Amino acid sequence: MSSEAVATASGGPRARLDRALRHAAVKPLLWALLLTPLALLIHGAATDRLGANPAEALLRGSGDWSLRVLLLALAITPLREALRLPTLARLRRPTGLFAFFWCSLHLLAWAWLDQGLEPAALLADIAKRPFILVGSLAWGLLAVLALTSPQRVARALGGARWRSLHRGAYVAGLLGLLHFYWMKAGKNDFGEWAVHAAVLAALLGWRLWRRPRRAGGPR
């Protein structure tokens, strides 16, 4: 029995919290929380509260939440292990899918509000602005991860191959961070970017630290 299973089976506050995370209402609550920013953006647009440039506010807001939710998805496994709450694992897939959802909204906002859904304009903007290309690559990678997230696909690929593929979420995070950096560079505003970079660096550091332990070191 794993140390996580022993901890939750032994009772106490941690075990009660882990059991609470199994409740059927937890996933709908997660969906509601991750959709709340979208509801606020829509309400702001409908009530003219997004400032002088609502299109830019929608574009920036959807981009910000794309990166935030992706970092949250990457943080679930470290949190699960640190807090010894194995049931947190059931929230990783929906959170990852919401990261793709937000990234898709961001892509749509750029394609529609910024480029008018004109294919020629879209291609020209990708060729002209490298940060658009990087963002598009991040979306494409998240799309692959979303398409391969169902359990039947994981079984078809095999566990090791599937896990290796889904480590690409870290690559998507790095691409998203680079996209965000280039966007902020024009305004010389790196405060928020630095926070995101620190979080991703911590998550990557945890992944590198855990690799030798999983390969046969002390657990």
Mean pLDDT of the region 119-148: 95
**Domain assignment present for 219:** no
**Domain assignment present for 145:** yes
Cα–Cα distance, 88 to 153 (Å, whole number): 21
Q: What token pair was written down for 148?
A: 């391969």
Alpha-carbon dihedral 45, 139, 131, 71, rounded to 10 degrees: 80
Asked whether residue 86 carries a pLDDT value surpassing 60, the answer given is yes
pLDDT more than 90, % of the chain: 77
**Domain assignment present for 111:** yes
Rounded to a whole number, what is the distance in angstroms from the first to the last CA of the chain? 13
Q: Provide the pLDDT for residue 9.
A: 52
Q: Provide the pLDDT for residue 31.
A: 96
Query: Given pLDDT bands bounded at 50, 70 and 90, which one contains residue 68?
Result: very high
Burial class of residue 73, CB neighbours in 10 A (0-12, 13-18, 19+): buried
Question: Which of 192 and 138 is assigned the larger pLDDT?
Answer: 138
**Domain assignment present for 155:** yes
Question: Which of 201 and 212 is assigned the larger pLDDT?
Answer: 201
Do the beta carbons of residue 86 and residue 80 sit within 8 Å? Answer: yes
**Domain assignment present for 53:** yes
Number of independent structural domains in the chain = 1
**Domain assignment present for 125:** yes
The 10s digit of each residue's pLDDT in 11-52 is 688 889 999 999 999 999 999 999 999 999 999 999 999 988
Q: Provide the pLDDT for residue 219.
A: 34
What is the extent of the structural domain holding 30?
3-214
**Domain assignment present for 23:** yes
Cα–Cα distance, 75 to 59 (Å, whole number): 25
Cα–Cα distance, 72 to 78 (Å, whole number): 10
Query: Given pLDDT bands bounded at 50, 70 and 90, which one contains residue 213?
Result: low
Return the minimum-mean-pLDDT range out of 32-36, 53-57, 115-119, 210-214.
210-214
Identity of residue 136: S
Mean pLDDT of the region 144-156: 93
**Domain assignment present for 17:** yes
Query: Given pLDDT bands bounded at 50, 70 and 90, which one contains residue 122?
Result: very high
